[in-house]
Structure 1
């Protein structure tokens, strides 16, 4: 491992100033992703700026009904928070599905959203990877890709984003707030992650040196009737091969409001807006749910060994929306 400096900070402005002065520095939260990548040589920061003591570790209900989540809130604390469990149950389920209890106790909200891909070629510095070394190629396209992207990929990269939390937050229109040396800013989570295109090494729309400070969930009554379903190759502590965050409001047998987001199918949490458009005002039945899934998955471009994800995601949409529709009418 490359030698690196370490500095703990206690205020946001001081943290941002350190990264502004040293572009080779990285913010350190729980370290559950960054430290692993440092061990393999994928990340080689000159300095770690420890942000865990910043006053960003609370979940607050705001006057407008939104929920404001600090960037250093641990995954465990987020999942256990009474307001999250009551108002956004899919978010609690997503966090609990994401990792072991030990990792959830360390990992932070901000760090979770900025996880790097878990593609094996990205993690192996002996292999080419356009995300790690721009222009070097994407061996996954002709190699091992059974758990890679079917939506929004390009011939430069087919990796998927690993966050479960991010899928639920995307479904509920979360907004990310950040601080830079030039002042504060914010971006909807659905816009935070850049399309892969020709530049897969450019992953987010955050300015250089930006520090995520909060994630805000706007009021969403539909979210109270929500679920997160994760499918994986083993029962515990595995990354998804497909997942869905779904929320549904049904009145008199008709869909009044709906939210859908997919995980493990794209380079970012995938908001299923085409499916939502089909569902809005339509009968809440299996036929409609299947039509909505087909509308979203019409854009899928699977590789030879991951075409199963199209069928998997279609089945997940129908199954979870059917379950939510039944719960909404009880």
Structure 2
């Protein structure tokens, strides 16, 4: 047994000051990840500062069509909020596909973005893990790595970031608002997540005691017809093997603008900028979509058991683009297969795996 102290605070300044003053302390929001990590001795925080009473649950419409989401807004509330459903359906879909209803009612938006990786070696205190204990090695590189990343990896870590809504925020150029001992900051979502490099223990650029207070999503008119496609081993309560958040603007069959981000295949929510470059100004055809997917995955690296993810990600990108553009050849149950019958990788004819109905 390790002694852990607990305190509850009611204002942001007190929360920041309390955590910043103690290197062994941590914020506690919904607790759906932190409590688990405490139980298995991965998190060794000596003091938990409960921030659930902080006034950070608002969902506010911003001038011009953007939205500001308080960091403590619950996933379920954000998914059902009218401004989100109307203007940014990919956010709502990602949240509804992200967890069980019980977890969505507890987990906060800020906590979701800050959640730790689901690598089994990270959560096994006996196994070497550079993310948990730097310079000890990465067990996943030559171990059980079916669910691990193929983009943004390094020789020190190949763990996949698990957030679904983080992928949608990445596609929409969201901004993370923080407050800490050094004052307030605005961090672009792409800068908020760090690739592992030689420091996989550093996942965010946040200082100790720096608190995520809100997420702002700028106006993106084409996002009103966006979607989030999630491919997983089962239809509910499962992490993505591959996912795509996409919004697109068409004119006479040509792509004027596009936003595309990928999940389940990278060490951070992955903005598919190579694919966007191929798509912009090109005809909205399956051939274009395939070329875009291949360009984005050109540098993908598999590590044995997760080799199939490269092809799965390609198919997921193509499927998502065909869906959002209303491809008439896509009908219920009639699209090309994404996963083989044994779930080991992609193969034609296995039926749909779009992750709907969580």
Q: Cα deviations across residues 103-136 of structure 1 (Å, max 9, x unaligned)? A: 0000000100000000000000011100001011
Alignment match, 1:177: 177
Where does 1:242-261 land on structure 2 (aligned, <5 Å)? 242-261=242-261
Structure 2 match to 1:30: 30
1:45: which partner in 2?
Answer: 45
| Paired residues for 1:177-326 under 5 Å | 177-326=177-326
**Whole-Å separation in 2 of the counterparts to 1:182 and 1:54:** 19
| Paired positions, count | 328
SS at match of 1:98: coil
Q: Which runs of 4+ in 1 moved over 6 A?
A: none
SS of equivalent residue, structure 1 residue 247: strand
| 1:56 alignment counterpart | 56
Secondary structure, aligned partner of 1:207: coil
2-side partners of 1:9 and 1:141: how far apart? 42
**Which residue of structure 1 lines up, in the alignment, with residue 127 of structure 2?**
127
Residue 207 of structure 1 deviates from its aligned partner by 2.0
* SS of match in other structure, 1:248: strand
2:77 corresponds to 1:87: no
- 1:15 and 1:77 map into 2 onto residues whose CA distance is 24
Partner of 2:350: none
Identify the range of structure 1 (113-122 vs 200-209) with the bigger mean alpha-carbon deviation: 200-209
Instruction: Measure how far apart 1:65 and its partner are.
Output: 2.6
State whether structure 2 residue 89 is matched by structure 1 residue 96: no
Task: Give the superposition deviation at 1:248.
Answer: 1.1
Consecutive unaligned residues in structure 2, runs of 5 or more: 329-358
Q: Secondary structure at the match of 2:325?
A: helix
Q: Report what 2:11 is aligned to.
A: 11
Distance 2:237 2:91 in 1: 17
Per-residue displacement from partner, 1:73-122 (whole Å, max 9, x unpaired)? 00000000000000111110100001000000000001000000000000
Rounded Cα–Cα distance in structure 2 between residues aligned with 1:72 and 1:194: 23
C-alpha RMSD of matched pairs (Å):
1.1
Tell me by how many angstroms 1:64 deviates: 3.7
SS in 1 for 2:241: strand
CA shift for structure 1 position 208: 2.2
- Which structure carries more helix by proportion? 1
- Give me the whole-angstrom Cα distance separating, in 1, the residues matched to 2:221 and 2:327: 15
Q: Give ranges in structure 1 of 5+ residues lacking alignment.
A: none
Structure 2 residue 140 is matched with structure 1 residue 140: yes
Q: Secondary structure at the match of 2:92?
A: helix
TM-score normalised by length of structure 1: 0.98
CA distance in structure 2 between the aligned counterparts of 1:225 and 1:92, rounded to whole angstroms = 12
| Cα distance in 2 for residues equivalent to 1:8 and 1:320 | 43
Structure 2 CA distance, aligned partners of 1:98 and 1:326? 24
**What CA distance in whole angstroms lies between the structure 1 residues aligned with 2:20 and 2:323?**
49
- What CA distance in whole angstroms lies between the structure 1 residues aligned with 2:257 and 2:94? 21
SS at 2:177 equivalent: strand
Give the Cα separation in 2 of the matches to 1:316 and 1:264: 11
Q: Per the alignment, in what secondary structure is the counterpart of residue 120 of structure 1?
A: coil
Q: Secondary structure at the match of 2:259?
A: strand
In structure 1, what is the equivalent of residue 115 of structure 2?
A: 115
SS of 1:145's equivalent in the other structure is coil
